[in-house]
Structure formats: C-alpha cells, structure tokens
Structure 1
C-alpha cells in the first residue's frame, strides 16, 4: 500500500465550511460497510461487495492509513476521501516517472448532489499542498462516471489521457499544485 511518506500522520481534523475530515474511528464501521456495499457507489468500481462478507471481514475499528480521511457532516460519516502517494518509479504509480498523489473520493448516495465531494476533496488537496508543496495530484475515473468527471473539472484537473481498462474507457487527469483548490459552488 502506498503511503504519504514522511508526512506526520494523523493530522489534526480538517474543517471546511460544512464538513470535517478526520481519521476513521470505530463509530464509522457501519457507514464503511454501507459505502462498500452500495450498488450506486460502486457502479463504476467493479460492483458492490456483499454486506455479509463486509460484516465478517471489516474490523471493529476501521483501518487507519496515511491519506485516508472520513468525511463527516453533523457528526456522522457520509463518505471518505483518500490521497495515495506514489514515488517516482513505483510499480503501482499512475505515471511511473512522477512522484505524485492520487485522489479518490466516495460518498454515500444520500450525500450526493450537495457539493460535499468538491468541498471535501478541496480541503484534502489544500492539506496536501501544505505538507507536500508543488506535488502534482492525479485522478482516474471511467469516462462514463459523469459525477466524477464533473468533480475532476471543478477541482481543476486537466485531461492527461484516456485508456481502456476493466472493459471501459478510463480518464486520467492531473492537477498541478498551483491550481487553487477552492472550487466554485454549483
């Protein structure tokens, strides 16, 4: 699993206008299971995982790992945002010649359409810019995933390429560190 490297982890909770980004806690277990078992959330991610399997395998205290933030609204988890760090020449890197982080975000369907994804990702990107100034960030999604494509655009990612994988066309975008993360509201 890639990590953020020598960045101190965990950071203090990150507050945005409406959200808190924080480490996973035991109280988030049910929301993680709901998130991973959701057919709507996993439409473009290979499908949901069976709820009974998740109940058996997920630890009582969800895994803490560098770069993984719970998105909290009014005291409850509504999703997660993750920044995975890859060093140049890493075999799992998106662009093997570049040191970079990859942004990922999942929200529970009831949280869709309120701008929470943009707000949470912008806060995570601001945090990353503070601990790794100048580092580019990449985002991958299926071109058919209109929500993710809009999110990438609103956050300032520009297309670097398209490719076929998992039986579908994929999109790769890059966000240079100089792009401001404060995205306009819609």
Structure 2
C-alpha cells in the first residue's frame, strides 16, 4: 500500500525541458486562487470555488503537503499536480490504498503540452521513490482531453461510475509503464 507520508518532502525540484515542478511558495498564492476560482478549470470538477472562500482558505504561504507540486514556467505558476494517498473514501472501489494523480492548469496555458510533460515527470519521480506502486486517476468521461491525456500517460480504464452528478472515468497505471507522451492536447 502506497504511503506518501514515508517520502521525504519536499523533494528537490523536478526539472523538465520547459518546466520546474516544486513545492508551493508565497508567490503562488494569487495563481492558486485564480486556478481554483476559474469557471473553465472547474467545469469538470464540480465548478469554480468562490474567490472570497479561497482568499480565506489559502494561507499567505501555501506550503505544500506531500505529493503537491506547483508547475512553474519561467518563474510563474501555471498549474498544480497532486499525488494523494486514498484511504477508501473514493467512489471507485479499487482506489483504496492507492495514490491518485490529479492536475489543474490555468486556461491560458492549455494546448501547449505542459500537462503531459509535467505529469510524466511526476509519475517518473513517483516510480523512483515508491517503486512498484500503481497510480490511479479519475476524471469525468465528458472531459475528453483529460481522458486522452490519461491514456497517453499509461492509465488503463478499469471502471466507470457516477459521482458528483456525472459519469467518471477511473484508470490505473501499473508500475513500469512507459508512457507515449509527446505534445499534449491540453
């Protein structure tokens, strides 16, 4: 059973060809609020959260928790990636004891391949720190771009279920998967 609590956190920043994946910092607060308040970002995750609620909830220094990465492009936050341990609260029965990948990006950077590049790097990092552990991913079936990215990252659909008023796609990425990631449609 995967336990992100056993991983030394934060890790050294992960660098890709164009991006840096790092722990959240005070300079990321405004972008974190914008990300979670965006109607476009919230379209497939239950809607945008009210800005005043986010202002009150996100601390001045939004320190990360194990598994939380900021996606940094040239010194600015453009998205966030999370790896979260699941303890059985998830709607999909096979999620208990697994780590789930999540990702959100600001709409102005969609379609440039940043999601594919950064998710692949985080999955490679995860494989190095917890070898042999599978990763799961859930997205709405209506979010065609996210389903397409998941399959390109090596996730295989194992279930569909209803949650949050929509059909959900649930996939598992087994250890040792080599993803065929090039430029993303996101």
Cα distance in structure 2, aligned partners of 1:80 and 1:23: 10
The secondary structure found in structure 1 opposite 2:12 is coil
> RMSD of the TM alignment (CA)?
1.8
Q: Choose the corresponding residue for 2:137, options 136, 139, 152.
A: 139
> Is the CA contact (8 Å cut-off) linking 2:139 and 2:147 kept in structure 1?
yes
Q: Which residue of 2 aligns with 1:78?
A: 78
Q: Which residue of 1 aligns with 2:43?
A: 43
Is 1:121 the counterpart of 2:82 in the alignment?
A: no
| Structure 2 gap ranges (5+) | none
The secondary structure found in structure 2 opposite 1:64 is coil
Q: Describe the shift of the 1:106–1:71 C-alpha distance in structure 2 as closer, same or farther (beyond 3 A).
A: same
The secondary structure found in structure 2 opposite 1:28 is helix
Q: Greater helix share, 1 or 2?
A: 2
The structural deviation recorded for 1:62 is: 0.9
- Residues 1-186 of structure 1 aligned to structure 2 (within 5 Å): 4-86=4-86, 90-92=87-89, 94-95=92-93, 99-181=97-179, 183-185=181-183
Cα distance in structure 2, aligned partners of 1:76 and 1:33: 14
> Is the CA contact (8 Å cut-off) linking 1:3 and 1:84 kept in structure 2?
no
> Is the CA contact (8 Å cut-off) linking 2:88 and 2:95 kept in structure 1?
no
Q: Describe the shift of the 1:92–1:3 C-alpha distance in structure 2 as closer, same or farther (beyond 3 A).
A: farther
The structural deviation recorded for 1:184 is: 2.6
Cα distance in structure 1, aligned partners of 2:101 and 2:174: 13
